[in-house]
């Protein structure tokens, strides 16, 4: 990637994160809920079955995102998160948790499709597919099941296994566990980020970089 192109990518990422900030609640409003969750043990940021996009061998720093695939702000922030993953690969563990908004008609269906793909080790390709095609199926009041099944076929998944997983109650339970964790931790919208167990409201791409560097140095 040329220097100018990389700068363009980063600038787009910054713009996305600024947009994200406009949709997020003030951190101080959420801290009592987070403290309460920590006190009673409800809600976990990272479980054994949590989806890790990258894993740092030392496990020192973990960055968690609660995401809704139909959320425009999540899509806007996705480029920045992708860039961060590349820059901090091997040093920071990046985790994604589902948090479909009930106000988004196809959000939970999208999460089911991603989770069904994850069961065939295709979590990230389907995850990326959802954001790259969001304008095709998002903000609609008709089921996008067939569209998502088409994505699965494009990824050359075992379609019988995909269909079974997509309709399996266990898949929905897995997604709703993430939602329950998020609610217990004070998550009210998406995207919501946590850095080393603390809710983190980024104001810019550089803010995230500085915070990750500080966490790595501590």
C-alpha R_g of the chain? 17
Give tens-digit pLDDT for 107-155.
999 999 999 999 999 999 999 999 999 999 999 999 999 999 999 999 9
Secondary-structure breakdown of the chain: helix, strand, coil percentages, each rounded to the nearest 5: 55, 10, 30
Helix (H) or strand (E) holding 94: strand 92-98
Whether residue 18 is predicted with pLDDT greater than 90 in this model: the reply is no
Backbone φ and ψ of 192, nearest 5°: -120, 135
Q: How much is the average pLDDT of 77-98?
A: 96
- Regarding pTM above 0.75, the answer is yes
Nearest Cα neighbor of 97 from 111, 87, 117, 81 is 111
The domain limits of the chain are: 3-217
The per-residue pLDDT for 32 is 46
Q: Which two tokens stand for residue 47?
A: 């479980």
Q: How far apart are CA 167 and CA 217, in angstroms?
A: 45
The per-residue pLDDT for 50 is 97
Contacts of 109 (CB under 8 A, 6+ apart): 143, 144, 145, 148
Q: Are the C-beta atoms of residues 210 and 204 closer than 8 Å to each other?
A: no
**Architecture in CATH of 3-217:** 3-Layer(aba) Sandwich (3.40)
For the chain, what percent of residues have pLDDT higher than 70?
A: 80
The per-residue pLDDT for 217 is 96
The per-residue pLDDT for 19 is 42
Q: How far apart are CA 157 and CA 149, in angstroms?
A: 10
DSSP code at position 197: T
Q: How many CB atoms are closer than 10 A to CB 9?
A: 16
């Amino acid at each position: 990637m040329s220097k100018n192109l990389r700068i363009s990518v980063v600038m787009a990422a910054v713009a996305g994160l600024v947009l994200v900030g406009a949709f997020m609640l003030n951190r101080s409003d959420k801290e009592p809920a987070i403290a309460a969750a920590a006190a009673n043990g409800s809600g976990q940021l990272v479980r054994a079955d949590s989806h890790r996009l990258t894993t740092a061998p030392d496990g020192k720093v973990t960055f968690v995102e609660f995401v809704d695939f139909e959320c425009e702000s999540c899509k806007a922030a996705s480029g920045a998160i992708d860039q961060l993953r590349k820059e901090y690969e091997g040093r920071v563990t990046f985790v994604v948790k589902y948090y479909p908004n009930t106000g988004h008609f196809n959000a939970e269906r999208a999460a089911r499709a991603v989770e069904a793909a994850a069961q065939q080790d295709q979590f990230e390709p389907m995850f990326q597919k959802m954001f790259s095609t969001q304008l095709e199926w998002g903000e609609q009041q008709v089921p996008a099941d067939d569209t998502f099944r088409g994505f699965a076929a494009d990824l050359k998944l075992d379609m019988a296994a995909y269909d079974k997983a997509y309709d399996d109650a266990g898949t929905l339970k897995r997604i709703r566990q993430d939602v329950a964790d998020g609610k217990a931790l004070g998550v009210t919208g998406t995207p919501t980020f946590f850095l080393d167990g603390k809710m983190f409201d980024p104001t810019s791409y550089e803010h995230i970089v500085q915070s990750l560097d500080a966490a790595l140095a501590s």
